[in-house]
Amino acid sequence: MGRLIDGICRVLEAGIALLLAVMVVLVFGNVVLRYGFNSGITVSEEVSRWMFIWLTFLGAVIALKERGHLGVDMLVGKLPAWGKKVCLVVSQVLMLYIVVLLCKGSWDQAVINLDVTAPVTGAPMAIVYAAGIVFSVLAAVIIALDLWRLLSGRLTEDELVMVQESEEAVQMKQILDQADAADAADLGSTGRRA
């Protein structure tokens, strides 16, 4: 199941790159046409906005899988292993509940807006709300898999805190880990010389 999720995330990453490239071409092309030739691409703003919505939701799936979402782990990080497990179970169950609510709301909005067309493209507005459905289904699978791994005892103690404090804190931890490894290597080489 982990390989399947990894494969899906690789496809999502490629899709995000494609969406971003098309957005850049549409927006930049529209700016050049507007200021250089006093014309423009009429669908550029609408399609770019939709692509940005999809890019955001698909990126959130990848961040969830890679545990890249920011959070505060000051309290949870100091708990013993059983405390971390309890907090993780509670948070995973709450996230599953929220994802189910998001899926239901997105589905309801997609159904309501199936016959509503966008002003420029004429495409159904349900396309916008489908991003919430795709996100919630994929997120529910990832969360449920993590919860199952926790309950079956397959998570290591390092994996019990599934958030990052901040990018700076992560970078600082990596720097300190590298310094510790270098110090250990220096001690090992000094011990061999003596």
Domain of 34 in residue numbering reads as 2-163
Are 135 and 173 contained in the same domain? no
What is the pTM assigned to this prediction? 0.75
Instruction: Please spell the DSSP secondary structure of 131-188, one letter per residue.
Output: HHHHHHHHHHHHHHHHHHHHHTT-S-GGGG--SBS-HHHHHHHHHHHHHHHHHHHHHH
Are 155 and 183 contained in the same domain? no
Are 116 and 193 contained in the same domain? no
Tokens of 106: 């997105």
- As a 3-state breakdown, the chain gives helix, strand, coil percent values, each rounded to 5, of 75, 0, 20
Are 159 and 180 contained in the same domain? no
Tokens of 90: 């509670």
Averaged pLDDT for residues 166-192: 70
pLDDT in tens, 76-117: 667 787 887 888 888 889 999 999 999 999 999 999 999 999
Are 192 and 176 contained in the same domain? yes
Averaged pLDDT for residues 164-179: 70
Are 52 and 86 contained in the same domain? yes
Tokens of 35: 């200021």
Are 120 and 134 contained in the same domain? yes
What's the domain count of the chain?
2
Are 130 and 70 contained in the same domain? yes
